[in-house]
Amino acid sequence: MPESAKGDPVVRLRGVSKKFPGVVAVDGVDLEILPGEVHVIAGENGAGKSTLMKLLSQVERPTEGTIEVSGEPVEFHGPRYAQGLGVAMVHQEFALASHLSVAENLFLGREPMRFGLVDRRTMRRRAEELLRKVGLQTDPDKLVSTLSVAGQQRVEIAKAVDGEPKVVIMDEPTATLAEKEIEDLFAVIRDLTSRGIAILYISHRLDEIFRISDRVTVMRDGKVVDTLPTRELDEEKLVRLMVGREVGNLYPKPEVEIGEVVLRASGISRGTVLEDCSFEVRAGEILGFAGLVGAGRTELARAVFGADRRDSGTVEIDGKEVRLKNPQQGIDAGIGYLTEDRKGEGLALELGIDKNITLASLPMTGGFISLDRERRTANRRREELNIRTPSVRRKVRVLSGGNQQKVVVAKWLETRGRVLFFDEPARGIDVGAKAEMFGLIGDLASQGRAIVLISSYLPELLNMCDRILVMREGRVAGEIERPEFSEERVVALATGAREVGAA
């Protein structure tokens, strides 16, 4: 693969900077992108990766420096102009009109016209061609809303590759994909690069960087730290470059005495989503939920917590059955659920850190909120969890992902939850913040809390958990104890590739 990257750079940045009032987001960046290479931009949140992509795709105008495409300096005329030059962008959040068809989306704003009307036949034909290029087998007349997330992303890519671009920018393209879909996406990427198209790729997931990239450019504080061929890197070195210091163990798992069963769920079923799921988790134990996206891990957690209704099944806390029909009852029973979608479901972004922390457990005195106790609580949690902010009154919106996640944790600690479900706690946060988050999860376990960790990234589960429960198609496919942990075992159970034993 690396050999396919040859020739003159398709894009060259010289001394490119972007200053916002009070912030230098991108600082004097020099960068060359070669035809047919997969070039990863790595760095922590706020390192300037996204801004750099916006400069390239002309969403933002650089304050200094020049950008060259195919050796020619380019002027700034906005995203559509950039696409005309051959710089296309696949957005992290898909910018598709879900109520329009695939073909209509592909040609939105540039529909092929005939006699002043949209030429639907041509549109359909060209849509079919484009879809074939990106390996999406679907009827172009289907509504976008009926496609899977991976399918929608493929439509975005098809949109980007129309007109044979020189560079396609992909911003965290795998964030919402399942393992199999990631493989498919990589196949598409390889196909594009074989045709000489360069891929500029942003990712937080280290394993992917090594799987797909030819070269890596590491950014920190808006500057380029280094550009290296991927084969000269290993995980440790890459993390060190990104963070700027030694990170130590990413998954600090403490030795914990495992106690009594705290929560036992039996026969949980819900529609076609969950079927007769049972599990138990003990004090001090970290239980992992593994499985493909859509296997029912989140659904099981939500059903146990009381966020979604259940058709059947019981939940026991300390051996006593509890009524769980809504989140309030879940909280009262001592269960906490940290959602996978932090911004969408976990935080009130417009409210302060203090108010988010106390949201599920307002300190009341004589019928009124005690603002004094609220502030003290928030400050205590800020210290304890190392939430980096000058004031707990700041809006949660302005915090980094890692700090936002800590606010969510603080909220659930305030409810005195004894069983905590962490749903993808490391998603979208920095490497440094990840290590901190897993350290925290380890601490909570050593304090005797029962932890359920849901993750799509196997190394997290294999390193942190005492036991892994694997789900497949809404059922519990099997359980693996720590001594028997291996990636193959989990994947086999998750995919049903080969039936293990009497399962």
Cβ neighbour number for residue 80 with a 10 Å cutoff: 11
Q: CA 168, CA 38: separation in Å to the nearest integer?
A: 10
Q: Which of residues 327 and 496 has its CB atom nearest to another protein in the complex?
A: 327
- Per CB under 8 A, the list member of 279, 337, 438, 485 interacting with another protein is 337
Interface with another protein includes 395 (CB under 8 A)?
A: yes
**Total residues contacting another protein (rule CB under 8 A)?**
55
Candidates 70-78, 145-153, 165-173, 322-330 — which segment interacts with another protein by CB under 8 A? 322-330
The contact mask relative to another protein for 12-41 (x = CB under 8 A, - = no) is --------xxxxxx----------------
Interface with another protein includes 367 (CB under 8 A)?
A: yes
Q: For residue 223, give the amino acid letter.
A: K
The contact mask relative to another protein for 215-234 (x = CB under 8 A, - = no) is -----xxx------------
Interface with another protein includes 61 (CB under 8 A)?
A: no
Interface with another protein includes 48 (CB under 8 A)?
A: yes
CB of 396 to another protein, least distance (A): 9
Beta-strand runs (E) in 330-445: 335-338, 364-365, 368-369, 419-423
Pick from 17, 23, 110, 12: nearest CA to 60: 17
Interface with another protein includes 245 (CB under 8 A)?
A: no
Candidates 142-150, 190-198, 343-351, 468-476 — which segment interacts with another protein by CB under 8 A? 343-351
- Per CB under 8 A, the list member of 110, 393, 416, 482 interacting with another protein is 393
Q: Which of residues 359 and 492 has its CB atom nearest to another protein in the complex?
A: 359
Q: CA 435, CA 247: separation in Å to the nearest integer?
A: 8
- Per CB under 8 A, the list member of 411, 449, 472, 475 interacting with another protein is 411
DSSP state of 144: G
**SS3 (DSSP) at 469:** strand
Q: How far is CA 452 from CA 241, 297, 309, 461, in A?
A: 32, 10, 20, 10
CB of 51 to another protein, least distance (A): 8
Judged by CB under 8 A, the chain residues 255 through 314 that form the site for another protein are 305, 307
Interface with another protein includes 345 (CB under 8 A)?
A: yes
Candidates 163-171, 287-295, 324-332, 446-454 — which segment interacts with another protein by CB under 8 A? 324-332
Interface with another protein includes 325 (CB under 8 A)?
A: no
Q: Which of residues 115 and 368 has its CB atom nearest to another protein in the complex?
A: 368
Give first-to-last CA distance, the chain, whole Å: 41
Candidates 168-176, 232-240, 271-279, 350-358 — which segment interacts with another protein by CB under 8 A? 350-358
Strand partners, 420: 336, 451
Pick from 262, 334, 269: nearest CA to 299: 269
Interface with another protein includes 140 (CB under 8 A)?
A: no
Beta-strand runs (E) in 271-370: 274-282, 286-291, 312-317, 320-322, 335-338, 364-365, 368-369
Q: Which of residues 26 and 168 has its CB atom nearest to another protein in the complex?
A: 26
- Per CB under 8 A, the list member of 197, 331, 470, 490 interacting with another protein is 331
Q: CA 411, CA 150: separation in Å to the nearest integer?
A: 33
Candidates 130-138, 233-241, 253-261, 360-368 — which segment interacts with another protein by CB under 8 A? 360-368
Q: Which of residues 129 and 226 has its CB atom nearest to another protein in the complex?
A: 226
Interface with another protein includes 59 (CB under 8 A)?
A: no
Q: Which of residues 355 and 472 has its CB atom nearest to another protein in the complex?
A: 355
Q: Which of residues 37 and 340 has its CB atom nearest to another protein in the complex?
A: 340
Pick from 357, 416, 413: nearest CA to 389: 357
CB of 412 to another protein, least distance (A): 9
How many secondary structure helices (H) and strands (E) does the chain include?
A: 16, 24
CB of 382 to another protein, least distance (A): 12
Interface with another protein includes 98 (CB under 8 A)?
A: no
Q: CA 379, CA 364: separation in Å to the nearest integer?
A: 17
- Per CB under 8 A, the list member of 97, 108, 187, 362 interacting with another protein is 362
Q: CA 32, CA 56: separation in Å to the nearest integer?
A: 12
- Sign of the CA dihedral running 157, 161, 162, 167: positive
Q: CA 87, CA 83: separation in Å to the nearest integer?
A: 5
Q: Which of residues 77 and 393 has its CB atom nearest to another protein in the complex?
A: 393
Candidates 6-14, 47-55, 143-151, 247-255 — which segment interacts with another protein by CB under 8 A? 47-55
Strand partners, 89: 169
Pair of tokens at residue 160: 């980007």
Give me the helices (H) in 262-370, please: 297-305, 327-332, 353-357
Q: How far is CA 284 from CA 260, 281, 446, in A?
A: 9, 9, 6
Pair of tokens at residue 127: 């849509």
- Per CB under 8 A, the list member of 1, 247, 351, 491 interacting with another protein is 351
User: What HEC string does 161-177 produce?
Assistant: HCCCCCEEEEECCCCCC
Q: CB-based burial of residue 269 (10 Å sphere; 0-12 exposed, 13-18 middle, 19+ buried)?
A: middle
Interface with another protein includes 400 (CB under 8 A)?
A: yes
As a whole number of Å, the CA-based R_g of the chain is 24
**Interface residues with another protein (CB under 8 A)?**
20-25, 44-48, 50, 220-222, 305, 307, 326-328, 330-332, 337, 339, 344-351, 355, 359-360, 362, 364, 367-369, 371, 388-391, 393-395, 397-400, 411, 415
